[in-house]
Amino acid sequence: MKYRHEWKHEINESDFLVLKQRLCAVAGPDPHAQPDGRYLVRSLYFDNMSDQALREKIDGVNRREKFRIRYYNDDTSYIQLEKKSKYNGLCSKEAVTVPKETVRRILEGDSRALLESGQELEAELYSKMLSRGLAPKTIVEYMRMPFVFPPGNVRITLDYQIRAGTCCRDFLNMEAITIKAAFSSVILEVKWDEFLPDIIRDAIWLPGRRACAFSKYAACRSYG
C-alpha cells in the first residue's frame, strides 16, 4: 500500500480566485475534469452506530480508515468503492469499480451483493459491515476543480458548494434534496508522493493559512 502526503486548508472565495489563477498558470488540468475544468462529486460514507469513523477523525486517531462509494457528474454507470486509510499523517486510497445494481442492493439493506464479484475490497467492506456494524451514513456532494503536476505526482483540488444528504437511500437519485453545509469555506487539498516541488509550494502559499484536519464527512454529519 502506497502512502502519500496530504495537506488541507480552509480558504475563502477570494483565496479560491487567486489560487485558480495561479494553478492554471503552473499546473495542468485533471484529464477527468469537464471542459470547464471541474466536476461534481457525490459520495456515500459508511460508519457504525457509535460513529467510529467520525470520532476517530475528530480525535485525530493516528491510524484510521473509512469506506465510501462515489460517482461523478451524476453518471451512475461508473461507481467506485473506496477505502481511505491514514497513518502517521500520511494517506492512501484503494478503489474498485462496483456495478450500480450492487450499490442499489446495499442501499436496500442487502450487503451480500458485495460478495458476488470476488473483489477483495468489496469482501472487506462486507466483513466490516458484519463485524463492526458499518452501514451507509450520509451523502456528501460538492464541486471539485482539480489540477495535476507530474513531478512529485502532485494533485491539487479546490472543493466548494459542499452539500449533505441525510437519506442514504437517495444516493443514486440525482434529484434528491441535499442541504448546503453550514460553512462557506472552500477546501484546498494538496497530495504528493516523495516531494512537493517549490513551484507548487509557492503557488498555493497564502498568508495566514495553515494546514488543518478538515473533513467534509465530519462537516456534513452536523445534519445527522
Predicted local confidence at residue 223, as pLDDT? 67
Predicted local confidence at residue 58, as pLDDT? 87
Cα separation, 162 vs 169, whole angstroms: 19
Cα separation, 36 vs 33, whole angstroms: 8
> How far, CA to CA in Å, does 131 sit from each of 65, 124, 175?
15, 10, 33
Per-residue pLDDT of the chain (224 residues; tens, 9 = 90+): 789 999 999 999 999 999 999 999 999 988 889 999 999 999 999 999 999 999 998 888 989 999 999 999 999 999 999 999 999 889 999 999 999 999 999 999 999 999 999 999 999 999 999 999 999 999 999 999 999 999 999 999 999 999 999 899 999 998 998 998 877 689 999 999 999 999 999 999 998 777 777 789 988 887 66
pTM confidence score: 0.94
Predicted local confidence at residue 49, as pLDDT? 95
